[in-house]
């Protein structure tokens, strides 16, 4: 199915020095771009967090990014989460970090004061894969229907855990994209907020795939207004709906000016992907 997984060993932990340096340079450039955009928008330094989008990257590449300052990661595919998470968690523990729900529990037991690296799922989730990601990810950013939210809630409740969710909204209306219709977002957010086992943390969108700056910004601005309306509703379980996950390699400055709190960046950190 995912052919590249046959060509690249995603569990590989050792990369050469030149590659590690390339990734560190990428991280530093992106952190500089974020700081410049925060400043240009008159926003507080550090108000936007960087999530490294790690699809197609191996454990060694992800560790290099974390060593260079990345403090949040996101995977697209449950299969990649499954292949990488154990090795990643183990190596991170050696560096004083914890990853995933299971690892943080282990850290709590041993009393280790590890810095937690939030692990997000940012790609589409089929309901038969929920069990695969729930023990590992802190937040699922790609929840776009009541049916999916209910299935995740049921699984989380069975495990006695609470999982963070972002409601994904298809602001551009492009058919290739997942996400709920913008007109349904407020109603869906209220219903998700009232479900046990889920913690509604905010909204997510993917910017319009166009060159026109105004069109891209309008989608981001609309997501921000939607978030503000959800917060203002005072509905049960919506007071924590604060995050706006928007902005990627090519549009992160626009997103930050429109209020983004999390930018998801792959290419600008790791280089072009050899696989889709």
Ligand X SMILES: *Cc1c(COP(=O)(O)O)cnc(C)c1O
Contact footprint for ligand X (CB under 6 A) = 53, 55, 76, 122-123, 206, 248-249, 264-268
CA dist list (Å): 188 to 71, 200, 238, 259:
29, 11, 11, 21
CA dist list (Å): 201 to 143, 190, 244, 253:
11, 12, 9, 22
Tokens 């999916």 -> residue: 148
Q: Give the nearest distance from C-beta 77 to ligand X in angstroms.
A: 10
The residue number whose beta carbon is nearest to ligand X equals 266
Residues contacting residue 209 through CB under 8 Å, at least 6 positions apart = 172, 174, 176
**End-to-end CA separation in angstroms for the chain:** 12
Pairing of strands 97-99, 115-117: parallel
Q: Give the nearest distance from C-beta 236 to ligand X in angstroms.
A: 29
């Amino acid at each position: 199915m995912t052919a590249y997984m046959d060509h690249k060993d995603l569990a590989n932990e050792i990369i050469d020095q030149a590659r590690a340096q390339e990734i560190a340079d990428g991280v530093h450039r992106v952190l500089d771009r974020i700081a410049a955009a925060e400043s240009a928008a008159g926003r507080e330094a550090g108000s936007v967090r960087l999530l490294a989008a790690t699809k197609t990257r191996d454990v060694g590449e992800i560790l290099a990014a974390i060593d260079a300052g990345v403090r949040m990661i996101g995977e697209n595919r449950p299969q990649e989460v499954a292949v990488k998470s154990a090795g990643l968690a183990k190596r991170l523990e050696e560096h004083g970090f914890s990853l995933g729900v299971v690892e943080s529990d282990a850290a709590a037991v041993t009393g280790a004061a590890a810095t937690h690296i939030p692990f997000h799922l940012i790609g589409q989730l089929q309901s038969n894969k929920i069990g695969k990601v729930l023990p590992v990810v802190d937040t699922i950013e790609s929840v776009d229907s009541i049916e999916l939210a209910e299935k995740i809630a049921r699984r989380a409740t069975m495990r006695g855990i609470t999982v963070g969710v972002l409601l994904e909204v298809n602001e551009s209306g492009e058919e290739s994209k997942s996400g709920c219709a913008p007109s349904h977002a407020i109603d869906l957010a209220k219903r998700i907020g009232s479900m046990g086992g889920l913690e509604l943390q905010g909204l997510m969108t993917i910017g319009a795939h166009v060159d026109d700056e105004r069109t891209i910004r309008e989608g981001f601005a609309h997501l921000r207004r939607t978030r503000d309306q959800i917060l203002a509703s005072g509905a049960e379980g919506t007071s924590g709906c604060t995050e706006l996950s928007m902005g990627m390699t090519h549009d992160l400055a626009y997103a930050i000016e429109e209020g983004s709190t999390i930018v998801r960046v792959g290419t600008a950190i790791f280089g072009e992907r050899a696989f889709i």
